[in-house]
Structure 1
């Protein structure tokens, strides 16, 4: 379908804005340089979360789940919290009853679309990717905020929480080019099963635009000449990733087994944690293994009715909790 320039639907729009401020100019220059130095895009496993529609705009509630069911469980917890925070008064009785009804439903059923007290909620799907170059994955850019010193990043919260999924929002030239590249992108047919590839091709049609989400960071490690992530967790800032991923249970010094009192292990854990000095550099070694703080970009597909939900081929980790508890009895 051909649209007049002034009548392009929001879900098809990419609005490039020229920004004259110095910070934007430096950020654009960083982006161009990194696109040349790290030209290969590598997709990771999809992540899942929930979003709420308010006043015609979808906003992310949480986006950190490895499977659709984990996201549903998190959404049920969100409604439990709203139920507990709603006053126990007669005028709020219907509101509380609806929250209770919905979290009980999510305990039993794999539901991806809900309308609760007048607001729409949806389980959403997002696609992370990293850039690779001749020397490995892309590290943080000079313009990526990294405000806190080592060991003091607990104040950081996810930039995804409350983020508006707005395809019509203005963007810089480089991000606009990335979005245009991602619009037609799908899984390679030889890299994934047939149903996964078919779903990714269908998503290009049903959700024909993409929105780039706030950048996150993780730590990669180079083992036997190949880079791989140390964990699946993405953090808000580079130092947050260094703090978390440069320390592990193996650093405690006390082996946790059936004979180890938990109090002894936790005391050793706190001592080891206090003695740990997280690195500040983007490249460092952990027990002789080269590591690098890695920049993680993420996009969500959008269509005329908002962000994309889970695909039929997306693996779902487990049953809803109430049904999961019944599973041993069912198999007996």
Structure 2
């Protein structure tokens, strides 16, 4: 890292202030206590991505939900361009409309990580990590934002993310504990033995090009203890502990019976565990021989002289832009205009039936799953292979 002798640039400034209220004070105290109970920082798996817009008044603002891939986030940026094109068209500005539409069309053919609309928009990289201690990964804190235990929210596995709309500004003052955490994260790189050379080299390079750190609101997931080691349970990051419990409940009632091939007796045990999870709002659960925990996932964005970090060369980015993918599929003779219904196989069909039954139990419409949803649920759509134990 460059040594700034007398004056540090804004993105390297960590301003510490006193908490501005009881809630902030509690959060700072719990953050400090977490350093004792869960002293180790480890990667929570692959990064995620979102779109941020540079603000005239300083900083960047998150303008989309977090996605699993750079290309999926580029497509979101294309949709934002089309939305802005429609807005300026209503105002009669056809010249700007055409410019925005041209940008949207380019994004359908090219991998572009930054565009100029009503300001700079950029695909940014969000790193994920967890605290661990002698008893495993850190669970939610009492000061963490959570949804009310409202049955109307059940089944909303996504929902509003506190990170969406969040202003990324490294000069904003933080509490003492968060300031120290930022200092720790500035130096955080993956272990050389556990990553590829390209991934390690990119992480080291990011420490030079983007040495500043901004923390996003925490997310929540599920880890499972297996043979003394904690591993991810195949649950996507959720914006609140409530949503993580809700998604876990869905897995216990719907996904696990199918993809684990559970007997009827085992299914009843899993359903009972899901019921206890819903009724008590607990963060730990034992079902059969499995021990599961709702865990806290910290998220951060690295900053440099030109703003937040975008995707790294070593980040997995296998998806083609939508029109490139369209061309390749048509070249293979695949009829993309064929709208005949998809015939589900045995496990996918059972998954669909259990899903509809669970939605009916929750009093929700039994909407059909999107194409491939059953397969995605089987994989958990997890953001990379986390290693909560750091083993």
Select which of 59, 64, 67 maps to 2:66: 64
1:186 CA displacement: 1.3
1:27 CA displacement: 2.1
Superposition pairs of residues 133-212 of structure 1, within 5 angstroms: 133-149=133-149, 151-153=151-153, 154=156, 156-212=159-215
- Structure 1 counterpart of 2:40: 40
Change in 2 beyond 3 A, CA 1:253/1:178: closer
Q: Secondary structure at the match of 1:248?
A: helix
CA distance in 1, matches of 2:284, 2:222: 9
Change in 2 beyond 3 A, CA 1:94/1:136: same
1:191 CA displacement: 1.1
- Give the gaps of 5 or more residues in structure 2: 260-270, 334-391
CA distance in 2, matches of 1:253, 1:197: 35
CA distance in 2, matches of 1:37, 1:249: 29
1:28 CA displacement: 2.2
Q: Secondary structure at the match of 1:214?
A: strand
- Kept in 2, the 8 Å contact 1:150–1:243? The answer is no
CA distance in 1, matches of 2:87, 2:49: 25
- Structure 1 counterpart of 2:129: 129
Q: Secondary structure at the match of 1:62?
A: coil
CA distance in 2, matches of 1:88, 1:125: 33
- Kept in 2, the 8 Å contact 1:283–1:291? The answer is yes
CA deviation profile, 1:82-101 (whole Å, cap 9, x unmatched): 33455445x22123222211
CA distance in 2, matches of 1:255, 1:42: 32
Cα RMSD for the two superposed structures:
2.7
- Kept in 2, the 8 Å contact 1:150–1:280? The answer is no
- Kept in 1, the 8 Å contact 2:235–2:248? The answer is no
Select which of 76, 79, 83 maps to 2:78: 76
1:225 CA displacement: 3.1
1:150 CA displacement: 5.2
Q: Secondary structure at the match of 1:213?
A: strand
Bigger fraction of residues in strand: 1
- Structure 1 counterpart of 2:217: 214
- Structure 2 counterpart of 1:264: none
- Structure 2 counterpart of 1:113: 114
1:238 CA displacement: 0.6
CA deviation profile, 1:265-291 (whole Å, cap 9, x unmatched): xxxxxxx9xx96725101113455221
- Give the gaps of 5 or more residues in structure 1: 257-271
CA deviation profile, 1:98-127 (whole Å, cap 9, x unmatched): 2211111111000011112x4111111111
Superposition pairs of residues 181-330 of structure 1, within 5 angstroms: 181-248=184-251, 251=254, 278=278, 279-286=280-287, 288-328=289-329
Change in 2 beyond 3 A, CA 1:251/1:86: same
Point out the more displaced range, 223-232 or 64-73. 223-232
Bigger fraction of residues in helix: 2
- Structure 2 counterpart of 1:269: none
CA distance in 2, matches of 1:120, 1:84: 18
